[in-house]
Amino acid sequence: MQTYPENVQPDSRATLATLIYGNRFHADQTLAEYLIEFLLIFCAEKEQNDGGRLRFHNPDNKDVLYYTVEPRMGLKRFIFFDKSKKNDAALIDKMAYQKLLDALSKKIKDADSNEKADFLESLQDLFHGYAVVLKKRTWCAQAMLPICPEVIFCEAMPKKKDRAKLDWDKISNDSDKKSDVDNLFDFDKRNFLARGGELYYLHILQGLQKMPKEQARLEYFLRDLLLHQGNKMSKIASFIQSTWEETMGYDESPKKRLKLAYIPENAYKDVAGYSVDELINYLSCRMHPVKKIELLSKGVMLQILRMLSIATTKYLGEKRDCWIIDMKGLTENIVKKISSNGFRKVEDSFVSALGQKSVEMSADDVDKRMQEVRKARKDSLDIFRSKGKELQCIIPMSGPYERFTLPEDSIRFLVLAIVKPGEKMTIDMFLDELYKHYRMVIGPTEYKLMTIDIDNSLTNSFLENKLAFQEFLKATGFLHELSDATSIVVNPYEKIKEDKA
């Protein structure tokens, strides 16, 4: 099996899914955590001469790639600890949380104790307002919208038995033991940041091979998103964490070195350039930073769905599956039925790929094969379905006629990712780009590209589907009609100016 990076090979624990899609996509990873994990690696320290923060690894590296993260457990406690609904925290964390509040309170001048408490509570509310992953998780497994590098947290799972034994009074004067307050966590279990964002990072990195200008541009726009627009939150977060480190007497912030896995060499290569171009176009739009990040998380997930789909047909040696988009959503709708059949074909491709790989791996043991296929399906097709439904690109949530569609957020991302800021293209050109990038079939032209056996009676149905798509674009402000025959798709956002220095 050829991999990227070339010298990182699957081990004996490799599953059907990891051999087809890379190590690994995992069902428990939330939509937001794909973007968080991608940005965590981008922001992390790397083994490069300049430290590699807020930069990509060398795309041409053939060996194992590493990155070093700062867990920032003090800051994480400040944001999530007191608001966590899951009451399973160790006593040592309650003590540590109070010590941090006391230390921060001492930094606030010219205010009484009540005013200080109110100020710190307001600060916690400010940060917690950007929380995106809470559910029923313990405080250290929750996550924030990645509005600045300091709040892009790595995974942290408590070593409960060890933490239960920690006694603040006994370790407070022991510099070696004191660090256990922040170090007795597992930072590499991959339960929630389960490598899905890492595979996406490798996909983008592969797309940057021999593309130094595109790499520099993408790095610039990511830095602009995380540093320039999140500057104030970054300073506050750094102050809170540095206060905690000062309280604990750390010489430097605790760190954890992690390694990247692999993706199959050819699984995603055909669309890697599209993913890079889409990110550059999207990130170059000047727009509200929070909205930009929220929409980016959905756009990244849409690209990941494309990754899963193309890797499936690539493994089978077949032509890419088309996503037939139903824009009318009516009960009686011919395109709805065709779209539903198309969705079933995509599902069948996943099942065929997993079945074929299972035969390769364990041809004689039928029970083992079935067990492996069920597990692999959970971490491939089930992710495709569940995340597609979460994006509302696959409808309905339950019931018959499952099919592809495009909701407002997906259309918004696609326009901004394909049409450069301030530029425009005709509706036909845009539909052609959607077909090239994603194999989305919306109008009659794309229908004809999809199949050799054209049923001319369906052309009018796809024309109506195209008109419904145009109405949707018009309602969202992305379509301008120049005449009855000519409509143009417009990216109305201003372009962020690049520093050429």
Q: Look at residue 87 in the predicted model and tell me its pLDDT.
A: 76
363 band by pLDDT with thresholds 50, 70 and 90: low
Q: Look at residue 329 in the predicted model and tell me its pLDDT.
A: 78
Q: Look at residue 500 in the predicted model and tell me its pLDDT.
A: 65
| Rounded-to-integer distance, Cα 40 and Cα 379, Å | 22
Which residues, including other chains, have CB under 8 Å from residue 308's CB and lie 6 or more apart? 21, 25, 350, 380, 383, 384
Q: Look at residue 394 in the predicted model and tell me its pLDDT.
A: 98
Q: Look at residue 133 in the predicted model and tell me its pLDDT.
A: 84
Q: Look at residue 285 in the predicted model and tell me its pLDDT.
A: 98
Omega into 396 within 30° of 0, i.e. cis? yes
Name the least confident of 178-187, 213-222, 287-296, 367-376: 367-376
274 band by pLDDT with thresholds 50, 70 and 90: very high
Q: Look at residue 260 in the predicted model and tell me its pLDDT.
A: 97
Q: Look at residue 367 in the predicted model and tell me its pLDDT.
A: 83
| Rounded-to-integer distance, Cα 486 and Cα 418, Å | 19
User: Mind listing the pLDDT tens digit for each residue in 308-330?
Assistant: 999 999 999 999 999 999 998 77
For the chain, the structural domain boundaries read 3-70+192-230+255-279, 73-186, 321-490
Q: Look at residue 333 in the predicted model and tell me its pLDDT.
A: 85
Q: Indicate the average pLDDT of the chain.
A: 94
User: Mind listing the pLDDT tens digit for each residue in 460-476?
Assistant: 999 999 999 999 999 99
User: Mind listing the pLDDT tens digit for each residue in 416-459?
Assistant: 999 999 999 999 999 999 999 999 999 999 999 998 777 778 89
pTM (two decimals): 0.96
Q: Look at residue 331 in the predicted model and tell me its pLDDT.
A: 67
Q: Look at residue 325 in the predicted model and tell me its pLDDT.
A: 97
Name the least confident of 97-111, 143-157, 365-379, 421-435: 365-379
Strand partners for 257? 68
Smallest CA-to-CA distance from 56 within 74, 72, 42, 71 is with 42
